[in-house]
Amino acid sequence: MKAITPEMEYLSTRQSAKVLQVSLGTVQKMVELGELIAWKTRGGHRRILASSLDQQLARRKRAMRQKSTQNCIAMGIFRRIENSHELIESIQSWQLKVDMEVSVDSLEGLMKAVSITPDLIFLDALIPPVEQVHLIHYLSKNKDTQRIPILVDEEFIKLHPGVMGLADENTLGVRSGHPQTLKKELETGLIDQNPLIIGYPATNPDPELILGDANRHQLLESVFIQALNRKCTQ
* pLDDT tier at 178, thresholds 50, 70, 90: low
* pLDDT tier at 22, thresholds 50, 70, 90: confident
- Of 114-123, 129-138, 142-151, 209-218, the least confident: 209-218
Q: Which residue has the higher pLDDT, 200 or 159?
A: 200
pTM (global) more than 0.85: no
Q: Which residue has the higher pLDDT, 144 or 216?
A: 144
Q: Which amino acid is at 151?
A: L
Task: Count CB-CB contacts under 10 A for residue 23.
Answer: 10
CA atoms of 54 and 115, how far apart (whole Å): 11
CA atoms of 128 and 114, how far apart (whole Å): 21
Given CATH 3.40.50.2300, say whether it is the number of domain 69-233.
Answer: yes
Q: Are 79 and 124 in contact (CB under 8 A)?
A: yes
SS3 assignment for 29-84? HHHHCCCCCEEECCCCCEEEEHHHHHHHHHHHHHHHHHHHCCCEEEEEECCCHHHH
**84-115: pLDDT as tens digits:** 998 898 898 888 889 899 999 998 999 888 88
Q: What is the mean pLDDT of residues 215-230?
A: 81
